[in-house]
Amino acid sequence: MIFVGIEILQSALNRFLAPSVPEVTAISFLIILGTMCINYLVTRYEYNQGESLRSQVLIADSMHTKSDIYVSLSVVVSLAAVVLVFPLMDPLIAIVIAFIIFRAGYRIIKEGSRIEEEEICNLVMTVEGVKGCHKIRTRGSMGDIKIDMHLLVQSDIPLEDAHLIAHKVSKKLKSEYKDVSDVVVHLEPSSQRPQGSNSKKTS
């Protein structure tokens, strides 16, 4: 998506240096408006499916399709500017659209590794032997998310059993979230009071 923004920005700068007046017809408007409508429907479908399936790939693809809508919108405004005899509006609008696409691309990168801490903790608490969890952190990028967390287990269980619980937690998270590539679990006795805002403990 960011590369699309770069291409639009380069094209806009070229039109500033060498302005040209495209031919405008009613068919041009109709084709572009039709394309925008189709892309909008595709965007909504992909985004809803991505949310339902928890697929960052589908969500990212919906954002990419959304960038096509912005491109089409810039073309519509540019054609309108030509009709109104304001040719400089074309590259100006293209620059604005390019920065909107840059912003959307940045959001995809930033949110690609975001998994709600409470959601993770609720899932972890379903693993037998887990007494609590806290200090949950997620980092990385879409397709390569890493989770770091502190796990509370019964204080008097053998170390081997505690590590088995940690392994089950790691396997559970990787199974639930396909983009998770690594899980680091720090074991703590349940008698130790959990610290941090994202903590949960069974009674």
Domains of the chain, earliest start first: 2-111 (no CATH), 117-201 (3.30.70.1350)
pLDDT in tens, the chain (203 residues): 556 667 767 776 776 676 665 566 778 778 888 888 998 998 888 888 877 766 666 777 787 788 778 778 877 777 777 677 676 776 777 777 778 777 776 766 665 555 677 888 899 999 999 999 998 888 776 667 889 999 999 988 899 999 999 999 999 999 888 778 889 999 999 875 444 445 565 55
Cα gap 64→160, rounded to integer Å: 47
